[in-house]
Amino acid sequence: MKKILTLITSVAVTAASLSAKVVKDYGSTSDNVLTFVVDSIDYRQDLTRVYGRVQGRPHTSNRIDEVQYISTGTALKSNDIDGVDFRRYFQWEDEGEIPIEIDFPATKPDTGVQFIFTTPRGKSTTTAKKIFTKHK
């Protein structure tokens, strides 16, 4: 019985990992309101999670009220953020960088995405494009 449960668990974990597609190697550009650097985007069946870093001048503050994911005719509103809280001020420490994860409803992978951040200083746009590299 123990072997069967282990086998079922292994198959379930493998199947779950096969349904996700993590896309890395994005180049991102931001305006002067808020700088966001995209590290990767995890496209899952149940959500799309964006991994990145907000950058700013050390010992200053900002706030993120909402984030939109815009790609090929699709506009999605964020439903969760980790690293900072929505509608609460945060402060950059000495390194001037905060890693964050932003969750959106599930969508299909795209090579070009725009993120619109709503902040007290206005809207901020970050454009992320997949960088295609040659394999040696």
For the chain, percent of residues with pLDDT exceeding 90: 70
The tens digit of pLDDT for each residue in 102-128 reads 999 999 998 899 999 999 999 999 999
Place of tokens 């001037």: 96
Produce one character per residue of 32-48: b if its CB has 16 or more CB atoms within 10 Å, e if not: eebbbbbbebbbeeeeb
Q: Which residues pair with 101 in a beta bridge?
A: 51, 82
The tens digit of pLDDT for each residue in 40-65 reads 999 999 999 999 999 999 999 999 99
Residue 53, class by beta-carbon neighbours within 10 Å (0-12 exposed, 13-18 middle, 19+ buried)? middle
